Structure 1
């Protein structure tokens, strides 16, 4: 007799109970129980009633499971009979037919080992408003995947958003009340700023209100709890007894502090004590209402909620670059860094003793989003292996989880977020640290986490101390014994991206943005920069890369051999010239590298952080002396929008690597390995050798990368192209063909002290005049549609009353004019508005900020090079070689231009060279479309055909309608990094 679905559900519920500690308590997971939902005509197959999060229904059915989805959807909006809590999430689970043939121990064993469960999550407040994840088809996985999916479903994203909005509204209202009394009580407001070590202002008031709000939510969570917490009255009880006042709250918080929770309630107590009495009642009542609203959603312990709210309140971003990793991105990074096979230290997940000695650090922790994601992952895998994560909490908080930040409020909020994982579990030690930053009382300076680079620094410049948010108070830690080099199993970070000089400094009007937080004065910034120079000497740090490059060096020093590095970095890490030393460090010291980038399909955000407005990448690697020769590169269409998506994408990437189902760049134009959620293609993965693989950043269509790999190697290889047509091309580099002109600052720049660096002043070309020293300086897309156009500016030699200086100017004028050429390279190519990658001027011209001059053997050579650079093949290589950090733009600086692959013009015969020059003359004045409209550009098509048939001798068949070249143009024009936020015409 076939096993019934009722029996399967009971057995499945039993297996699930053992996958999570909170589910092992009686009554948390119910199967096939009637009367569990109010007014429900049918009983839920499985009901998960974990405290403090939303209940989840799991509806199961044996495939083909024709009714499982309608049943799962129908549960939304129902209410649990006893508690009245609404069902906001349900899971449709399809189980394989073979389960029907098993019973008893055989069924239990198969439930544990099966890898072909099919799952989908429905969320919403009613069946009509339901949203499905994945959007179509199913997520396939094992019992661990089902358990983790159920845990995620218990914190629905739309509820998080609604609750976050409510909490933010309460915080804003409370901050507004503080602002109203700031004029009449400036001393009290100043004391609040001192407690937070921040200047008075909007950010400080919001942060104070946020910390108070966090305490209110925690208060309600703890009231009436076990032991001494039983005597803590809830906010509602305080209101009922007319004790919902400043004094009444402080009395209750003293009770809580006598038990624990110092990291949450001590600073909140001090802030409330400083709150002026005239405003305290209104603030208390406002935040009490806010906490009550949040309790309706049972989400006061949600890491997603805590992180999403508090990160949105940090306003000191232009100096600290304190942008935060979105929770879905944090789930993706943490899941890539921490897998089910073994712990970051290489032990089994069931080994509780080993996990107690695990060390995980974030030296730029913000409010702890990444640490929380890592901690959640560790706890999940330990419990899936039969352990109890709550038993680890004391040691995890005591020393396993290390977080550092220069914002005291951020450190406290990180501690609060981590404490909330097991709020009733006490701990006496913590390593969530506020590091000193700026001028110290003794006149020396501190640099925050940078000081951790050198274990001897405390003896040289300052005796650095760190205040750690302890479970039962604050104590001073000794950082060098607590944070040793080579002492960590996992370093997971999203460091600040601020750079010390250049445009960033100009934009915000400070000397050194990297050291300008907390309104440090110019003299302090100078001292900090001097100290930083000592700390970064001999490392991979580069000023143009910014402080994120030093955080990579810091992570490397702190990691053990075999430890895992997991970081969010600017996309320039993969493509930027200033990041070369950092890439070399990673290649030299790390293996099993995974790089994830975000294509930004449809103009969506290309970052993994909130509000940065810049492209980023995720880096994961294992520290090993052998280093890396290859890496896995993943491009997602867009960043994940839920923690479920982030986690599942990571699992798919790991499976592709472990099973060997990973396409390679060397495979030919067949594309990458698909990453899917259900039937939705969300990205692709591919393997590639280093260093060439770095160029895969933000490449959506890996077929283009495979074609490029062949082209750079001198082989023309299109999808479906006959082997007989795979013609070899002779390729070289720009540096081997041309003398590249000067950096723009060497034309008109001045030294730091105002001296002469460049001998010219730049002025626009006057109408009707003929400039002596023409220069291509700025872009004007409408005037640059053709390969041939005039310079828009001219250089005027500077005059000096100092004879020696004038002699230097004259010498520099002569040497710079010697670099003038007629061929020039587009340094900052805006793909979605500009048409020409290279250009030709009717007379010799100096290259400027937007165009670098390229001086070749002859005019014919320069024409041939410009012609090649504007073919679709030349554009393909230009795009591939560029830094695609900015939306719709590709930047290639002088140093990178030297190595850019190009057709070997010198290898062309004299007659072919003449022919190339003639083709250039034919098309030089014909306007072309921007690159995002490449596939519609008739002039470009004619240029492609002429060059490839008459210069390269390739078959005309390549240019037939819908042929290989047409496919190439369509693919390239469709790349999100080319389209940016625009659409093709």
Structure 2
């Protein structure tokens, strides 16, 4: 059945591996009347950002007008369905008319801070949504949803062309201003802080333009077994946040090459895997509520089962990237690029990491790059608080201040507060 489904969906450019929701979108498209037929689907939140849903997003953009996306940012219930606890969204879309295409369409994002608990609450919320004019992404201000005297969410509208070939970033943040900061940075390379009238532009590039992302945990598992005995292949084993408090790390285990493949698996050659070892490590999976650092630097090349090794062959780049990703702007890009599983339990997929926008170190002056590397050395042993406390973390503030000084940026204090209080980070309601 899976093979037949894949065959039928191939012509529709939808992926059967993304689940039945993707299959339904492809199957429903030709059945709906152009300009009239509407689609309303509750799907995993990964439909908006996950690499495996790329084809489904492209199909929706081609065949439908995406009218509204409703996402729950309520830590007490990230989902809408009763059968799951995973993060979900509700998509509402209209079949595109074949005669004409809208050129000024705007997608409305409803980001809920409190998920309605029953039919009556949902009905009152729906009335509130229809009564509020969404705040445009390009402007300032908030369009707050109010039910029974309480603010339960926000509406923001985004021009359809912003999403062309991109993730649907509007679901990634609970508040309009945080989303505005993120999108202005990701799309324009512009650093804007709410309340400020001036902005600064910085050069960005994809991570894979500066370094090569190494093997994932399955590849490492197919080529090695873990051991406490010293070998030629050191590794960093875990992401215990009580241990991973600093930007510097050292190997804590070793790897021994396999002689025979594991049952049902293909043997990976240890030498080939080891050529992808790196000194820079970026977290593969994160509990945002407990995470302290998202990138670390090792004095020696390593592989890992829970961190992505990045090979740059330039130690100054390794240190500068670690500094960038752990500052507030770097954390913002990771939150925007993340694949959400359940609230604050998120993944950084290899495809996403390769495309992660980071500071383009090639366009910095020699003095700026040296200052970034020196900033790492100065703060390598500093201990960082968990992300929900980043607004009052002395180490994070010092890191932000150092980055701002090197790049000529405004004070990042407001951004620290915005990120720290995002429900996906704090695991608390707004």
- For the criterion TM > 0.5, the same-fold answer is yes
Distance 2:19 2:190 in 1: 38
User: Match for residue 109 of structure 2?
Assistant: 633
Distance 1:550 1:729 in 2: 41
Aligned to 2:385, the other structure's residue is in SS state coil
Q: Does the 8 Å CA contact 1:889/1:978 hold for their aligned counterparts?
A: no
Q: Does the 8 Å CA contact 1:663/1:686 hold for their aligned counterparts?
A: yes
Distance 1:982 1:787 in 2: 30
Distance 2:72 2:249 in 1: 36
- For residues 182-197 of structure 1, what are the structure 2 equivalents within 5 Å? none
Q: Does the 8 Å CA contact 2:228/2:254 hold for their aligned counterparts?
A: yes
Structure with higher RCO (Cα < 8 A, 6+ apart) = 2
User: Match for residue 865 of structure 1?
Assistant: 321
Distance 1:902 1:576 in 2: 19
User: Match for residue 219 of structure 2?
Assistant: 746
How far does residue 720 in structure 1 lie from its aligned partner after superposition? Answer: 1.9
User: Match for residue 122 of structure 2?
Assistant: 646
User: Match for residue 201 of structure 2?
Assistant: 728
Q: Does the 8 Å CA contact 2:49/2:167 hold for their aligned counterparts?
A: no
2:236 is the alignment partner of 1:776: yes
Aligned to 1:782, the other structure's residue is in SS state coil
| Structure 1 residues 557 and 794: CA distance shift in structure 2, 3 A | farther
Of 954, 974, 983 in structure 1, the residue corresponding to residue 409 of structure 2 is: 954
User: Match for residue 47 of structure 2?
Assistant: 573
- For residues 203-242 of structure 1, what are the structure 2 equivalents within 5 Å? none
- For residues 504-653 of structure 1, what are the structure 2 equivalents within 5 Å? 528-561=1-34, 562-600=36-74, 603-624=75-96, 625=98, 626=101, 630-653=106-129
Q: Does the 8 Å CA contact 1:822/1:842 hold for their aligned counterparts?
A: yes
Aligned to 1:912, the other structure's residue is in SS state helix
Q: Does the 8 Å CA contact 2:423/2:429 hold for their aligned counterparts?
A: no
> What TM-score, normalized to structure 2?
0.90
Distance 2:211 2:102 in 1: 35
User: Match for residue 371 of structure 1?
Assistant: none
2:289 is the alignment partner of 1:832: yes
| Structure 1 residues 587 and 531: CA distance shift in structure 2, 3 A | closer
| Structure 1 residues 981 and 709: CA distance shift in structure 2, 3 A | closer
- For residues 759-838 of structure 1, what are the structure 2 equivalents within 5 Å? 760-766=223-229, 769=230, 771-800=231-260, 812-838=269-295
The two structures, once aligned, show a CA RMSD in angstroms of 2.4
User: Match for residue 677 of structure 1?
Assistant: 147
2:375 is the alignment partner of 1:900: no
User: Match for residue 451 of structure 1?
Assistant: none
| Structure 1 residues 982 and 826: CA distance shift in structure 2, 3 A | farther
Q: Deviations 1:124-154 (Å, cap 9, x if unpaired)?
A: xxxxxxxxxxxxxxxxxxxxxxxxxxxxxxx
| Structure 1 residues 673 and 819: CA distance shift in structure 2, 3 A | same
Q: Which runs of 5+ in 2 are unaligned?
A: none
Aligned to 1:839, the other structure's residue is in SS state strand
Q: Does the 8 Å CA contact 1:606/1:638 hold for their aligned counterparts?
A: no
Aligned to 1:885, the other structure's residue is in SS state strand
> What TM-score, normalized to structure 1?
0.40
* Count of equivalent residues: 416
Q: Deviations 1:223-256 (Å, cap 9, x if unpaired)?
A: xxxxxxxxxxxxxxxxxxxxxxxxxxxxxxxxxx
| Structure 1 residues 830 and 887: CA distance shift in structure 2, 3 A | same
- For residues 241-390 of structure 1, what are the structure 2 equivalents within 5 Å? none
Distance 1:763 1:857 in 2: 26
Distance 2:183 2:392 in 1: 25
How far does residue 592 in structure 1 lie from its aligned partner after superposition? Answer: 4.7
| Structure 1 residues 544 and 842: CA distance shift in structure 2, 3 A | farther
| Structure 1 residues 557 and 645: CA distance shift in structure 2, 3 A | same
How far does residue 554 in structure 1 lie from its aligned partner after superposition? Answer: 2.0
Q: Does the 8 Å CA contact 2:66/2:91 hold for their aligned counterparts?
A: no
Aligned to 1:676, the other structure's residue is in SS state strand
Distance 2:205 2:53 in 1: 24
Aligned to 1:551, the other structure's residue is in SS state helix
How far does residue 569 in structure 1 lie from its aligned partner after superposition? Answer: 0.6
| Structure 1 residues 703 and 764: CA distance shift in structure 2, 3 A | farther
| Structure 1 residues 781 and 765: CA distance shift in structure 2, 3 A | farther
Q: Which has the larger radius of gyration?
A: 1
How far does residue 851 in structure 1 lie from its aligned partner after superposition? Answer: 1.1
How far does residue 775 in structure 1 lie from its aligned partner after superposition? Answer: 2.5
Aligned to 1:783, the other structure's residue is in SS state coil
Q: Does the 8 Å CA contact 2:213/2:276 hold for their aligned counterparts?
A: yes
Q: Does the 8 Å CA contact 2:172/2:335 hold for their aligned counterparts?
A: no
Of 928, 935, 940 in structure 1, the residue corresponding to residue 384 of structure 2 is: 928
Aligned to 1:890, the other structure's residue is in SS state strand
